[in-house]
Amino acid sequence: MNGQIDFGEIKPTRYFFTVAFILGVLFALTSNDDSTAPILSFLQWQLQTLVPITLLIGAHMVLLKNTRFTSFNPWLALLISGLLGSALFAPVSMLIEQWLQVEVAEQPFATELFNEWINVVVPVTLSWLAMNSPWVLGYRIEKPEKLKEHSDDKPDALQQAEFMSQVPVEKGGMLLFLKAELHYLQVVTEKGSSLVLYNLSDAVSELSAEAGLTVHRSYWVSYDAIKSLTRRGRQGVLELQNGDSIPVSRSKFKHVSELIAAREG
């Protein structure tokens, strides 16, 4: 299944936290606990939705640093990060309830913690899978093409690119390539690799067309980083100056080879 859902300018961080906020409002409105003041109920449910989404995103980003994890089926990878994130959230959820005096512990801490984990693991993990499903199913949640602002005529376009502001200073420098990991973006420079919460399509729209090209639905490569292009089977492979190899999709091979030849000529 492939397609595009045109929601306007929606970046992953805005998407996740907006959905979490809306869920918190809905849970607060539909809560049947008349013993809790409305403002406390609203605060409780905002914490119960915003905190877990933060932990889930963090857990997935940490796991993505493991090369074996990145080879997993997307659904399996999300299931694992969902279980990890919900496990981390269980004690936080219990402390939130006790802090707001929504519930008073009547059992040993270990028993309360186990019960809380049982209560949150399923809904939190399922919500995580549902929120990520557009990317897994092949939909692109992005701003319309006509609204994208390209930086072809802007000086120092790389420095002005919004996604680069999320890259640690010590890992800045010449951009080599970008790799999409669902709604995450691996930013590889001459000084190292960083993982940020960003769409590949949005990142590419912030770069000059003269800076590089999209060679695969998951990869953008800087022209300055390219060493050679070869064909392997039906696809191609770009060898980069730093030794990395980047796949070139069959549908883009001819176009990529022509652009590289034109620059070399």
Q: pTM of the full predicted structure?
A: 0.71
Looking at residue 130, what DSSP letter applies? Answer: H
- pLDDT tens across 197-220, in order? 888 888 998 898 889 999 998 899
Residue 189: strand pairing partners: 175, 192
- pLDDT tens across 43-73, in order? 989 999 999 999 999 999 999 888 788 888 8
d(CA 196, CA 178): 11
d(CA 125, CA 52): 10
Location of each CATH 2.40.50.1020 domain in the chain: 157-264
Which tokens is 222 given? Answer: 């800087």
Q: Averaged over 149-164, what is the pLDDT?
A: 56
The superfamily in CATH containing domain 157-264 is LytTr DNA-binding domain (2.40.50.1020)
Which tokens is 71 given? Answer: 């080879």
